[in-house]
Amino acid sequence: MNAEEEEAREDGGEWTLLLWTSVAVAVPVLLTLWCSAQSRRRTQMRDFFRQSRHGWSYSDLFGKPTYCCVCAHILRGAFCHCCGVCDEPCLRRAEAVCACKQIARCMEHRWVRGNVPLASYCAVCRQQCGTQPKLCDLRCVWCQSTVHDCVERLGDQRCNLGEFRHLIIPPDYLHRVEPRCGAGFPTRTSRVAPVCGSPWTPLLVLANTRSGNNMGEGLLGEFRTLLNPVQVFDLSQLSPSKALQLCTLLPPGSVRVLVCGGDGTVGWVLDAIDSMRLKGQDQFVPRVTILPLGTGNDLSNTLGWGAYAGEIPVEQVLRNVLEAEVVRMDRWKVQVASKGAPPAVHQHSAAPQVLSMNNYFSVGPDALMALNFHAHREKTPSFFSSRIVNKAVYFLYGTRDCLVQECKDLDKRIECAPLELDGERVELPSLEGIIVCNISFWGGGCRLWEGMGDEPCPPTRLDDGLLEVLGVFGSFHCAQIQVKLANPVRLGQAHTVRLLLKSSTMPMQVDGEPWAQGPCTITITHKTQALMLYRSAEQTDDDEEESSASETESATP
Protein backbone atom coordinates (compact mmCIF):
# COMPACT_ATOMS: atom_id res chain seq x y z
CA MET A 1 0.00 0.00 0.00
CA ASN A 2 2.85 2.31 0.82
CA ALA A 3 4.42 1.52 -2.52
CA GLU A 4 1.17 2.37 -4.31
CA GLU A 5 0.90 5.69 -2.42
CA GLU A 6 4.50 6.52 -3.24
CA GLU A 7 3.92 5.69 -6.93
CA ALA A 8 0.77 7.83 -6.95
CA ARG A 9 2.69 10.66 -5.32
CA GLU A 10 5.40 10.43 -7.95
CA ASP A 11 2.79 10.45 -10.72
CA GLY A 12 1.12 13.49 -9.12
CA GLY A 13 4.48 15.25 -8.95
CA GLU A 14 5.14 14.55 -12.60
CA TRP A 15 1.72 15.88 -13.57
CA THR A 16 2.25 18.97 -11.45
CA LEU A 17 5.64 19.58 -13.05
CA LEU A 18 4.12 19.02 -16.49
CA LEU A 19 1.29 21.45 -15.69
CA TRP A 20 3.63 24.20 -14.50
CA THR A 21 5.88 23.65 -17.51
CA SER A 22 2.90 23.99 -19.82
CA VAL A 23 1.80 27.18 -18.06
CA ALA A 24 5.33 28.60 -18.21
CA VAL A 25 5.41 27.98 -21.96
CA ALA A 26 1.81 28.97 -22.72
CA VAL A 27 1.67 32.27 -20.84
CA PRO A 28 4.47 33.99 -22.83
CA VAL A 29 3.06 32.59 -26.07
CA LEU A 30 -0.46 33.81 -25.27
CA LEU A 31 0.86 37.16 -24.08
CA THR A 32 2.84 37.55 -27.32
CA LEU A 33 -0.20 36.65 -29.41
CA TRP A 34 -2.39 39.10 -27.46
CA CYS A 35 0.14 41.93 -27.85
CA SER A 36 0.45 41.14 -31.56
CA ALA A 37 -3.33 41.24 -31.96
CA GLN A 38 -3.57 44.54 -30.08
CA SER A 39 -0.77 46.03 -32.19
CA ARG A 40 -2.47 44.82 -35.40
CA ARG A 41 -5.78 46.31 -34.22
CA ARG A 42 -4.17 49.65 -33.41
CA THR A 43 -2.45 49.69 -36.81
CA GLN A 44 -5.75 49.00 -38.56
CA MET A 45 -7.41 51.78 -36.55
CA ARG A 46 -4.66 54.27 -37.46
CA ASP A 47 -5.09 53.38 -41.14
CA PHE A 48 -8.83 53.84 -40.76
CA PHE A 49 -8.32 57.19 -39.02
CA ARG A 50 -6.09 58.47 -41.85
CA GLN A 51 -8.71 57.63 -44.46
CA SER A 52 -11.64 58.92 -42.42
CA ARG A 53 -13.46 62.24 -42.85
CA HIS A 54 -13.54 62.58 -39.04
CA GLY A 55 -10.78 63.69 -36.71
CA TRP A 56 -10.60 60.43 -34.79
CA SER A 57 -8.32 59.93 -31.80
CA TYR A 58 -7.87 56.96 -29.52
CA SER A 59 -7.83 56.94 -25.72
CA ASP A 60 -8.35 54.32 -23.02
CA LEU A 61 -9.15 56.94 -20.39
CA PHE A 62 -11.70 59.77 -20.28
CA GLY A 63 -12.00 62.37 -17.56
CA LYS A 64 -15.74 61.86 -17.08
CA PRO A 65 -18.49 59.37 -18.05
CA THR A 66 -18.69 59.59 -21.85
CA TYR A 67 -21.30 57.96 -24.07
CA CYS A 68 -21.15 56.76 -27.66
CA CYS A 69 -23.25 58.98 -29.92
CA VAL A 70 -24.30 55.93 -31.98
CA CYS A 71 -25.12 53.17 -29.49
CA ALA A 72 -25.37 55.31 -26.29
CA HIS A 73 -23.13 52.91 -24.35
CA ILE A 74 -20.35 54.21 -22.13
CA LEU A 75 -17.43 55.03 -24.36
CA ARG A 76 -14.00 53.45 -24.38
CA GLY A 77 -11.74 53.76 -27.37
CA ALA A 78 -12.13 56.29 -30.17
CA PHE A 79 -13.66 59.75 -30.34
CA CYS A 80 -13.85 62.63 -32.81
CA HIS A 81 -12.61 65.99 -31.54
CA CYS A 82 -14.55 67.89 -34.20
CA CYS A 83 -18.12 66.70 -33.93
CA GLY A 84 -18.67 64.21 -31.13
CA VAL A 85 -17.65 60.82 -29.82
CA CYS A 86 -18.10 57.22 -30.84
CA ASP A 87 -17.27 53.84 -29.35
CA GLU A 88 -14.79 51.66 -31.23
CA PRO A 89 -17.27 49.03 -32.56
CA CYS A 90 -19.45 51.83 -34.00
CA LEU A 91 -16.72 53.61 -35.97
CA ARG A 92 -17.73 52.45 -39.45
CA ARG A 93 -21.40 53.06 -38.78
CA ALA A 94 -20.62 56.59 -37.55
CA GLU A 95 -18.49 57.17 -40.64
CA ALA A 96 -21.47 56.34 -42.82
CA VAL A 97 -24.26 58.20 -41.01
CA CYS A 98 -22.55 61.16 -39.25
CA ALA A 99 -21.21 64.15 -41.18
CA CYS A 100 -18.19 65.69 -39.52
CA LYS A 101 -17.95 69.31 -38.48
CA GLN A 102 -15.35 70.20 -41.05
CA ILE A 103 -17.49 69.41 -44.11
CA ALA A 104 -20.51 71.54 -43.12
CA ARG A 105 -21.70 73.85 -45.92
CA CYS A 106 -24.21 76.11 -44.17
CA MET A 107 -24.56 78.36 -41.14
CA GLU A 108 -27.25 76.37 -39.38
CA HIS A 109 -26.70 74.84 -35.96
CA ARG A 110 -25.00 71.45 -36.08
CA TRP A 111 -26.39 69.54 -33.09
CA VAL A 112 -24.70 66.50 -31.53
CA ARG A 113 -26.43 64.57 -28.77
CA GLY A 114 -24.83 63.98 -25.39
CA ASN A 115 -21.51 64.59 -23.63
CA VAL A 116 -22.21 68.28 -23.09
CA PRO A 117 -19.68 70.24 -20.99
CA LEU A 118 -20.11 70.22 -17.24
CA ALA A 119 -22.02 73.21 -15.75
CA SER A 120 -23.60 74.08 -19.12
CA TYR A 121 -27.09 75.58 -19.42
CA CYS A 122 -29.87 75.29 -21.97
CA ALA A 123 -30.03 78.20 -24.42
CA VAL A 124 -33.87 78.03 -24.34
CA CYS A 125 -35.01 77.33 -20.77
CA ARG A 126 -31.79 78.31 -18.93
CA GLN A 127 -31.81 75.09 -16.90
CA GLN A 128 -28.66 73.02 -16.40
CA CYS A 129 -27.83 70.44 -19.08
CA GLY A 130 -26.09 67.09 -18.85
CA THR A 131 -27.33 66.22 -15.37
CA GLN A 132 -28.66 62.74 -16.25
CA PRO A 133 -26.33 59.67 -16.37
CA LYS A 134 -27.07 58.87 -20.01
CA LEU A 135 -26.71 60.22 -23.55
CA CYS A 136 -28.91 63.30 -23.23
CA ASP A 137 -29.21 66.94 -24.35
CA LEU A 138 -27.56 68.50 -27.40
CA ARG A 139 -24.55 70.66 -28.20
CA CYS A 140 -23.87 72.74 -31.31
CA VAL A 141 -20.36 71.93 -32.54
CA TRP A 142 -19.93 75.48 -33.92
CA CYS A 143 -21.26 77.91 -31.31
CA GLN A 144 -20.98 75.42 -28.37
CA SER A 145 -24.57 76.22 -27.29
CA THR A 146 -26.32 73.48 -25.31
CA VAL A 147 -30.04 72.74 -25.24
CA HIS A 148 -32.46 70.13 -23.93
CA ASP A 149 -34.83 68.38 -26.31
CA CYS A 150 -36.65 71.71 -26.62
CA VAL A 151 -34.35 72.55 -29.52
CA GLU A 152 -37.33 72.93 -31.88
CA ARG A 153 -38.28 76.08 -29.96
CA LEU A 154 -35.23 77.77 -31.49
CA GLY A 155 -37.01 77.71 -34.85
CA ASP A 156 -34.95 78.74 -37.88
CA GLN A 157 -32.39 80.65 -35.83
CA ARG A 158 -29.02 80.66 -37.58
CA CYS A 159 -25.82 79.75 -35.75
CA ASN A 160 -23.77 82.81 -34.74
CA LEU A 161 -20.57 80.76 -34.08
CA GLY A 162 -20.57 81.67 -30.40
CA GLU A 163 -18.01 83.52 -28.30
CA PHE A 164 -15.12 83.07 -30.72
CA ARG A 165 -16.92 84.14 -33.91
CA HIS A 166 -14.22 86.78 -34.49
CA LEU A 167 -11.61 84.02 -34.81
CA ILE A 168 -13.56 81.29 -36.64
CA ILE A 169 -13.58 80.73 -40.39
CA PRO A 170 -17.30 80.05 -41.04
CA PRO A 171 -18.13 76.55 -42.27
CA ASP A 172 -19.42 77.82 -45.63
CA TYR A 173 -16.75 80.48 -46.19
CA LEU A 174 -14.27 78.50 -48.29
CA HIS A 175 -17.11 77.30 -50.54
CA ARG A 176 -17.91 80.93 -51.42
CA VAL A 177 -14.39 82.16 -52.18
CA GLU A 178 -14.29 84.02 -55.51
CA PRO A 179 -10.70 84.83 -56.58
CA ARG A 180 -10.35 88.22 -58.18
CA CYS A 181 -7.46 89.09 -60.49
CA GLY A 182 -5.40 86.31 -58.96
CA ALA A 183 -5.54 87.90 -55.50
CA GLY A 184 -7.10 84.82 -53.97
CA PHE A 185 -9.33 86.44 -51.34
CA PRO A 186 -13.15 86.63 -51.45
CA THR A 187 -14.87 89.51 -53.18
CA ARG A 188 -17.95 89.23 -50.97
CA THR A 189 -16.40 89.32 -47.51
CA SER A 190 -19.23 91.63 -46.43
CA ARG A 191 -21.44 88.54 -46.27
CA VAL A 192 -19.15 87.17 -43.55
CA ALA A 193 -19.18 90.30 -41.37
CA PRO A 194 -22.78 89.97 -40.08
CA VAL A 195 -21.98 86.45 -38.84
CA CYS A 196 -18.44 86.89 -37.52
CA GLY A 197 -18.81 90.43 -36.23
CA SER A 198 -16.32 93.25 -36.62
CA PRO A 199 -13.39 93.14 -36.62
CA TRP A 200 -13.11 89.67 -38.09
CA THR A 201 -9.59 88.34 -37.41
CA PRO A 202 -9.53 84.65 -38.39
CA LEU A 203 -7.00 82.59 -36.45
CA LEU A 204 -4.77 79.84 -37.84
CA VAL A 205 -3.41 77.37 -35.26
CA LEU A 206 -0.06 75.71 -36.07
CA ALA A 207 0.99 73.12 -33.48
CA ASN A 208 4.25 71.23 -33.12
CA THR A 209 3.28 67.97 -31.42
CA ARG A 210 6.93 67.23 -30.53
CA SER A 211 7.58 70.39 -28.49
CA GLY A 212 7.99 70.53 -24.72
CA ASN A 213 5.76 68.14 -22.79
CA ASN A 214 4.21 66.65 -25.95
CA MET A 215 0.95 68.50 -25.27
CA GLY A 216 0.55 69.58 -28.88
CA GLU A 217 -1.61 66.63 -29.95
CA GLY A 218 -4.18 67.21 -27.21
CA LEU A 219 -4.26 70.94 -27.96
CA LEU A 220 -4.95 70.23 -31.62
CA GLY A 221 -8.13 68.41 -30.65
CA GLU A 222 -9.28 71.16 -28.28
CA PHE A 223 -8.76 73.86 -30.90
CA ARG A 224 -10.62 71.79 -33.50
CA THR A 225 -13.53 71.56 -31.09
CA LEU A 226 -13.80 75.35 -30.67
CA LEU A 227 -12.73 76.49 -34.16
CA ASN A 228 -13.11 75.29 -37.72
CA PRO A 229 -10.87 72.20 -38.17
CA VAL A 230 -9.63 73.58 -41.51
CA GLN A 231 -7.80 76.35 -39.62
CA VAL A 232 -5.92 73.98 -37.27
CA PHE A 233 -2.71 72.37 -38.58
CA ASP A 234 -0.33 69.71 -37.28
CA LEU A 235 3.22 70.75 -38.25
CA SER A 236 4.37 67.13 -38.12
CA GLN A 237 2.13 66.48 -41.14
CA LEU A 238 2.18 69.82 -42.99
CA SER A 239 4.91 72.45 -43.24
CA PRO A 240 4.22 76.06 -42.17
CA SER A 241 4.68 77.27 -45.76
CA LYS A 242 1.79 75.12 -46.97
CA ALA A 243 -0.42 75.87 -43.96
CA LEU A 244 0.05 79.64 -44.38
CA GLN A 245 -1.25 79.50 -47.95
CA LEU A 246 -4.70 79.65 -46.38
CA CYS A 247 -3.92 83.32 -45.65
CA THR A 248 -4.28 84.07 -49.36
CA LEU A 249 -7.96 83.04 -49.18
CA LEU A 250 -8.69 85.41 -46.30
CA PRO A 251 -8.99 89.21 -46.21
CA PRO A 252 -5.52 90.84 -46.32
CA GLY A 253 -4.11 92.04 -43.01
CA SER A 254 -6.73 90.28 -40.90
CA VAL A 255 -5.17 86.88 -40.15
CA ARG A 256 -3.60 85.91 -36.84
CA VAL A 257 -1.43 82.81 -36.36
CA LEU A 258 -1.12 80.99 -33.04
CA VAL A 259 2.07 78.91 -32.90
CA CYS A 260 1.91 76.08 -30.35
CA GLY A 261 5.51 75.09 -29.73
CA GLY A 262 8.90 76.31 -28.61
CA ASP A 263 11.02 79.20 -29.84
CA GLY A 264 12.40 76.99 -32.62
CA THR A 265 8.91 76.36 -33.96
CA VAL A 266 8.17 80.09 -33.90
CA GLY A 267 11.33 80.74 -35.93
CA TRP A 268 10.27 78.06 -38.42
CA VAL A 269 6.92 79.81 -38.92
CA LEU A 270 8.52 83.27 -39.21
CA ASP A 271 10.87 81.94 -41.89
CA ALA A 272 7.82 80.68 -43.81
CA ILE A 273 6.28 84.16 -43.53
CA ASP A 274 9.48 85.67 -44.94
CA SER A 275 9.16 83.33 -47.92
CA MET A 276 5.64 84.72 -48.45
CA ARG A 277 7.17 88.20 -48.65
CA LEU A 278 9.67 87.01 -51.22
CA LYS A 279 6.76 85.74 -53.32
CA GLY A 280 5.15 89.20 -53.28
CA GLN A 281 2.41 88.26 -50.78
CA ASP A 282 3.16 91.05 -48.25
CA GLN A 283 -0.52 91.98 -47.95
CA PHE A 284 -1.32 88.51 -46.57
CA VAL A 285 1.40 88.49 -43.88
CA PRO A 286 -0.26 87.43 -40.58
CA ARG A 287 0.26 88.55 -36.98
CA VAL A 288 1.99 85.83 -34.95
CA THR A 289 1.35 84.87 -31.34
CA ILE A 290 2.68 82.03 -29.19
CA LEU A 291 1.31 79.24 -27.03
CA PRO A 292 4.67 78.25 -25.48
CA LEU A 293 5.33 74.51 -25.21
CA GLY A 294 9.14 74.51 -25.34
CA THR A 295 11.77 74.33 -22.60
CA GLY A 296 13.16 77.89 -22.51
CA ASN A 297 10.37 79.97 -24.11
CA ASP A 298 12.42 83.18 -23.96
CA LEU A 299 10.62 84.82 -26.88
CA SER A 300 7.28 83.96 -25.29
CA ASN A 301 8.38 85.57 -22.01
CA THR A 302 9.48 88.70 -23.87
CA LEU A 303 6.08 89.01 -25.56
CA GLY A 304 4.21 88.50 -22.28
CA TRP A 305 2.90 84.95 -22.89
CA GLY A 306 5.01 83.20 -20.24
CA ALA A 307 5.07 79.39 -20.27
CA TYR A 308 2.13 77.05 -20.81
CA ALA A 309 1.74 73.93 -18.67
CA GLY A 310 -1.90 73.12 -19.39
CA GLU A 311 -3.32 75.02 -16.44
CA ILE A 312 -5.00 77.67 -18.64
CA PRO A 313 -8.15 76.53 -20.50
CA VAL A 314 -7.98 76.76 -24.28
CA GLU A 315 -10.98 79.12 -24.16
CA GLN A 316 -8.91 81.58 -22.12
CA VAL A 317 -6.02 81.25 -24.58
CA LEU A 318 -8.35 82.34 -27.40
CA ARG A 319 -9.64 85.26 -25.32
CA ASN A 320 -6.05 86.38 -24.74
CA VAL A 321 -5.38 86.26 -28.47
CA LEU A 322 -8.42 88.47 -29.10
CA GLU A 323 -7.18 91.07 -26.62
CA ALA A 324 -3.49 91.12 -27.65
CA GLU A 325 -1.93 94.13 -29.34
CA VAL A 326 0.28 94.14 -32.45
CA VAL A 327 3.99 94.99 -32.11
CA ARG A 328 6.95 94.84 -34.47
CA MET A 329 9.97 92.62 -33.77
CA ASP A 330 13.38 92.85 -35.41
CA ARG A 331 14.72 89.75 -37.14
CA TRP A 332 18.40 89.33 -37.92
CA LYS A 333 20.60 87.52 -40.45
CA VAL A 334 23.56 85.53 -39.12
CA GLN A 335 26.21 84.82 -41.76
CA VAL A 336 28.89 82.20 -41.04
CA ALA A 337 31.95 82.38 -43.33
CA SER A 338 34.15 79.35 -42.57
CA LYS A 339 37.93 79.56 -43.08
CA GLY A 340 38.76 75.89 -43.45
CA ALA A 341 37.49 72.35 -43.23
CA PRO A 342 34.48 71.72 -40.99
CA PRO A 343 35.20 70.40 -37.47
CA ALA A 344 35.55 66.67 -36.98
CA VAL A 345 33.34 66.52 -33.88
CA HIS A 346 29.58 66.77 -33.44
CA GLN A 347 28.93 66.13 -37.12
CA HIS A 348 25.22 65.63 -36.28
CA SER A 349 24.96 69.42 -36.32
CA ALA A 350 26.99 70.85 -39.20
CA ALA A 351 27.70 74.55 -39.41
CA PRO A 352 25.11 76.45 -41.47
CA GLN A 353 25.99 79.34 -43.77
CA VAL A 354 23.08 81.74 -43.24
CA LEU A 355 20.60 81.67 -40.36
CA SER A 356 17.69 83.80 -39.20
CA MET A 357 17.82 85.00 -35.59
CA ASN A 358 14.92 86.10 -33.42
CA ASN A 359 16.24 85.60 -29.88
CA TYR A 360 20.01 85.44 -29.54
CA PHE A 361 23.33 84.19 -30.88
CA SER A 362 25.99 82.88 -28.54
CA VAL A 363 29.41 81.27 -28.55
CA GLY A 364 30.72 79.62 -25.40
CA PRO A 365 29.40 77.66 -22.41
CA ASP A 366 25.64 78.05 -22.95
CA ALA A 367 26.04 76.93 -26.59
CA LEU A 368 28.10 73.95 -25.37
CA MET A 369 25.29 72.88 -23.02
CA ALA A 370 22.78 73.18 -25.86
CA LEU A 371 25.05 71.18 -28.19
CA ASN A 372 25.47 68.32 -25.69
CA PHE A 373 21.75 68.37 -24.91
CA HIS A 374 20.76 68.12 -28.58
CA ALA A 375 23.27 65.34 -29.25
CA HIS A 376 21.82 63.16 -26.49
CA ARG A 377 18.20 64.04 -27.36
CA GLU A 378 18.77 62.77 -30.89
CA LYS A 379 20.00 59.44 -29.49
CA THR A 380 17.16 58.96 -26.96
CA PRO A 381 14.29 61.30 -27.90
CA SER A 382 11.74 59.47 -25.73
CA PHE A 383 13.69 60.37 -22.57
CA PHE A 384 13.41 64.12 -23.21
CA SER A 385 9.64 64.37 -22.90
CA SER A 386 9.14 67.04 -20.22
CA ARG A 387 10.46 70.48 -19.30
CA ILE A 388 11.64 69.26 -15.87
CA VAL A 389 13.78 66.51 -17.42
CA ASN A 390 15.14 68.89 -20.06
CA LYS A 391 16.14 71.53 -17.50
CA ALA A 392 17.69 68.88 -15.26
CA VAL A 393 19.86 67.66 -18.15
CA TYR A 394 20.90 71.24 -18.92
CA PHE A 395 21.86 71.65 -15.25
CA LEU A 396 24.01 68.50 -15.33
CA TYR A 397 25.87 69.62 -18.44
CA GLY A 398 26.40 73.07 -16.92
CA THR A 399 27.77 71.54 -13.73
CA ARG A 400 30.17 69.36 -15.73
CA ASP A 401 31.42 72.35 -17.74
CA CYS A 402 32.13 74.23 -14.51
CA LEU A 403 34.79 71.56 -13.84
CA VAL A 404 36.04 70.92 -17.40
CA GLN A 405 35.92 74.53 -18.75
CA GLU A 406 35.99 73.55 -22.44
CA CYS A 407 35.45 77.19 -23.52
CA LYS A 408 38.24 78.66 -21.42
CA ASP A 409 40.30 81.62 -22.81
CA LEU A 410 37.86 82.63 -25.52
CA ASP A 411 39.73 85.91 -25.97
CA LYS A 412 42.87 83.96 -26.97
CA ARG A 413 41.03 81.95 -29.63
CA ILE A 414 40.01 84.99 -31.63
CA GLU A 415 41.99 87.46 -33.66
CA CYS A 416 43.37 90.83 -32.61
CA ALA A 417 40.14 92.45 -33.77
CA PRO A 418 37.90 89.87 -32.07
CA LEU A 419 34.67 91.80 -31.82
CA GLU A 420 33.37 94.72 -33.86
CA LEU A 421 30.24 96.68 -32.96
CA ASP A 422 29.15 98.90 -35.86
CA GLY A 423 32.73 98.73 -37.18
CA GLU A 424 34.39 99.72 -33.88
CA ARG A 425 36.75 97.26 -32.20
CA VAL A 426 35.98 96.12 -28.67
CA GLU A 427 38.75 94.73 -26.48
CA LEU A 428 37.61 91.70 -24.53
CA PRO A 429 38.48 90.67 -20.99
CA SER A 430 39.23 87.01 -20.21
CA LEU A 431 35.81 85.63 -21.18
CA GLU A 432 34.49 82.16 -21.96
CA GLY A 433 31.40 83.23 -23.87
CA ILE A 434 29.77 86.04 -25.87
CA ILE A 435 25.98 86.45 -26.15
CA VAL A 436 24.26 88.70 -28.72
CA CYS A 437 20.63 89.33 -27.73
CA ASN A 438 17.63 90.68 -29.65
CA ILE A 439 15.05 90.09 -26.88
CA SER A 440 14.85 90.81 -23.17
CA PHE A 441 14.98 87.22 -21.87
CA TRP A 442 17.70 84.58 -22.07
CA GLY A 443 18.38 81.18 -20.50
CA GLY A 444 14.79 80.22 -19.75
CA GLY A 445 13.47 83.47 -18.24
CA CYS A 446 16.49 85.55 -17.15
CA ARG A 447 16.59 89.27 -17.99
CA LEU A 448 20.17 89.42 -19.22
CA TRP A 449 20.75 93.05 -20.26
CA GLU A 450 18.86 94.65 -17.37
CA GLY A 451 20.65 92.35 -14.90
CA MET A 452 20.16 93.02 -11.20
CA GLY A 453 19.37 96.69 -11.75
CA ASP A 454 22.44 98.00 -9.90
CA GLU A 455 24.03 99.49 -13.02
CA PRO A 456 22.40 102.04 -15.36
CA CYS A 457 21.87 100.75 -18.89
CA PRO A 458 19.78 101.75 -21.90
CA PRO A 459 16.45 99.91 -22.10
CA THR A 460 15.90 97.20 -24.68
CA ARG A 461 13.23 97.25 -27.36
CA LEU A 462 12.04 94.69 -29.90
CA ASP A 463 11.88 97.18 -32.76
CA ASP A 464 14.85 99.54 -32.22
CA GLY A 465 17.18 97.82 -34.71
CA LEU A 466 19.79 97.31 -31.98
CA LEU A 467 21.46 94.21 -30.57
CA GLU A 468 22.72 93.89 -27.00
CA VAL A 469 26.18 92.26 -26.73
CA LEU A 470 27.32 90.70 -23.46
CA GLY A 471 30.06 88.44 -22.11
CA VAL A 472 30.17 85.67 -19.49
CA PHE A 473 33.11 84.17 -17.58
CA GLY A 474 31.91 80.57 -17.67
CA SER A 475 29.14 78.13 -16.82
CA PHE A 476 29.25 79.02 -13.13
CA HIS A 477 28.89 82.69 -14.02
CA CYS A 478 25.87 81.81 -16.22
CA ALA A 479 24.29 80.01 -13.27
CA GLN A 480 24.90 83.02 -11.02
CA ILE A 481 23.27 85.30 -13.59
CA GLN A 482 20.17 83.06 -13.79
CA VAL A 483 19.64 83.19 -10.00
CA LYS A 484 20.38 86.95 -9.92
CA LEU A 485 23.64 86.70 -7.98
CA ALA A 486 25.75 88.29 -10.72
CA ASN A 487 25.57 90.45 -13.83
CA PRO A 488 27.02 89.71 -17.28
CA VAL A 489 29.69 91.92 -18.80
CA ARG A 490 27.88 94.50 -20.93
CA LEU A 491 29.97 95.05 -24.06
CA GLY A 492 27.60 97.44 -25.86
CA GLN A 493 24.71 97.85 -28.31
CA ALA A 494 25.05 97.86 -32.09
CA HIS A 495 23.23 97.62 -35.42
CA THR A 496 25.88 95.24 -36.82
CA VAL A 497 28.03 92.72 -34.95
CA ARG A 498 31.13 91.02 -36.35
CA LEU A 499 33.14 88.27 -34.62
CA LEU A 500 36.30 86.51 -35.88
CA LEU A 501 37.25 83.08 -34.57
CA LYS A 502 40.84 82.27 -35.56
CA SER A 503 41.49 78.75 -34.24
CA SER A 504 40.08 75.73 -32.45
CA THR A 505 36.50 74.47 -32.54
CA MET A 506 33.91 76.36 -30.53
CA PRO A 507 30.24 75.59 -29.81
CA MET A 508 27.76 78.14 -31.19
CA GLN A 509 23.99 78.46 -31.24
CA VAL A 510 21.26 80.57 -32.80
CA ASP A 511 17.89 80.48 -31.01
CA GLY A 512 18.72 77.17 -29.33
CA GLU A 513 19.96 75.43 -32.51
CA PRO A 514 23.64 74.56 -31.80
CA TRP A 515 26.59 73.40 -33.86
CA ALA A 516 30.39 73.05 -33.51
CA GLN A 517 32.25 75.66 -35.53
CA GLY A 518 35.87 75.94 -36.65
CA PRO A 519 37.70 79.14 -37.72
CA CYS A 520 35.19 81.56 -39.21
CA THR A 521 33.80 85.07 -39.38
CA ILE A 522 30.35 85.69 -37.88
CA THR A 523 28.42 88.71 -39.16
CA ILE A 524 25.00 89.66 -37.76
CA THR A 525 22.95 92.25 -39.65
CA HIS A 526 19.32 93.38 -39.66
CA LYS A 527 17.03 91.30 -41.88
CA THR A 528 13.39 92.39 -41.50
CA GLN A 529 10.61 92.94 -38.96
CA ALA A 530 7.87 90.51 -37.99
CA LEU A 531 4.38 91.42 -36.77
CA MET A 532 3.85 89.80 -33.37
CA LEU A 533 1.05 89.85 -30.80
CA TYR A 534 2.00 91.20 -27.38
CA ARG A 535 0.23 90.53 -24.09
CA SER A 536 0.73 93.33 -21.59
CA ALA A 537 1.18 92.91 -17.85
CA GLU A 538 -2.21 94.59 -17.29
CA GLN A 539 -3.93 91.91 -19.38
CA THR A 540 -2.15 89.19 -17.38
CA ASP A 541 -3.33 90.71 -14.09
CA ASP A 542 -6.91 91.01 -15.39
CA ASP A 543 -6.89 87.34 -16.44
CA GLU A 544 -5.69 86.27 -12.99
CA GLU A 545 -8.42 88.34 -11.30
CA GLU A 546 -11.10 86.88 -13.58
CA SER A 547 -9.78 83.36 -12.95
CA SER A 548 -9.87 83.81 -9.17
CA ALA A 549 -13.34 85.38 -9.36
CA SER A 550 -14.69 82.48 -11.41
CA GLU A 551 -13.20 79.98 -8.94
CA THR A 552 -14.90 81.84 -6.09
CA GLU A 553 -18.24 81.84 -7.90
CA SER A 554 -18.01 78.12 -8.66
CA ALA A 555 -17.22 77.39 -5.01
CA THR A 556 -20.22 79.39 -3.80
CA PRO A 557 -23.29 77.12 -3.27
**Predicted confidence (pLDDT) per residue in 19-60, tens digit:** 777 777 777 777 777 777 766 766 666 666 666 778 777 766
Q: How many CB atoms lie under 10 A from the CB of residue 211?
A: 23
Distances (CA, A) of 448 to 372, 429, 439, 454: 23, 18, 9, 13
> d(Cα 46, Cα 413) in Å, to the nearest integer?
54
pLDDT score, position 549: 46
- Tell me the range of 18-32, 200-214, 384-398, 541-555 where mean pLDDT is highest: 200-214
By C-alpha distance, which of 341, 324, 501 is closest to 412?
501
Hey, what CATH topology would domain 103-160 get? Wheat Germ Agglutinin (Isolectin 2); domain 1 (3.30.60)
- The model's pLDDT over 417-454, given as tens digits with 9 standing for 90+, comes to 478 999 899 888 888 889 999 998 988 778 888 876 66
- Strand locations in 459-519 (E): 467-472, 489-494, 497-501, 506-510, 513-517
Banded pLDDT at 390 (limits 50, 70, 90): low
Between 411 and 145, where is the model more confident? 145
Mean pLDDT of 292-311: 83
Residue 187 has pLDDT above 50, yes or no: no
By C-alpha distance, which of 155, 165, 231 is closest to 194?
165
Hey, what CATH topology would domain 166-176+193-323 get? Rossmann fold (3.40.50)
Residue 166 has pLDDT above 80, yes or no: yes
Mean pLDDT of 325-353: 72
CATH 3.40.50.2300 fits 333-340+352-526, yes or no: no
pLDDT score, position 361: 95
The model scores a pTM over 0.85: no
Percentage of the chain with pLDDT > 90? 24
Q: Which stretch of DSSP H or E encloses residue 528? A: strand 520-534
- The model's pLDDT over 12-30, given as tens digits with 9 standing for 90+, comes to 666 776 777 777 777 777 7
Q: Strand, coil or helix: what is 98? A: coil
Mean pLDDT of 140-149: 88
Mean pLDDT of 544-553: 46
CATH 1.10.8 fits 43-102, yes or no: no
Q: Tell me whether the CATH fold assigned to 43-102 matches the one assigned to 333-340+352-526.
A: no
Q: Are 57 and 221 in contact (CB under 8 A)?
A: yes
What is the CA 548 to chain-centroid distance, rounded? Answer: 26
Q: Are 431 and 473 in contact (CB under 8 A)?
A: yes
HEC-encoded secondary structure of 215-279: CHHHHHHHHHHHCCHHHEEECCCCCHHHHHHHHHHCCCCCCEEEEEECHHHHHHHHHHHHHHHHC
Specify burial of residue 118 (Cβ count, 10 A radius: 0-12, 13-18, 19+).
exposed
Q: Are 164 and 316 in contact (CB under 8 A)?
A: no
Bridge partner list, 435 = 362, 470
Q: For the chain, what are the domain ranges? A: 43-102, 103-160, 166-176+193-323, 333-340+352-526
Q: What is the DSSP letter of 75?
A: P
Q: Cis omega (within 30 of 0) on the bond before 557? A: no
pLDDT score, position 522: 92
Specify burial of residue 20 (Cβ count, 10 A radius: 0-12, 13-18, 19+).
exposed
Mean pLDDT of 240-244: 93
Residue 550 has pLDDT above 70, yes or no: no
> d(Cα 508, Cα 35) in Å, to the nearest integer?
46
* Helix (DSSP H) and strand (DSSP E) numbers for the chain: 12, 24
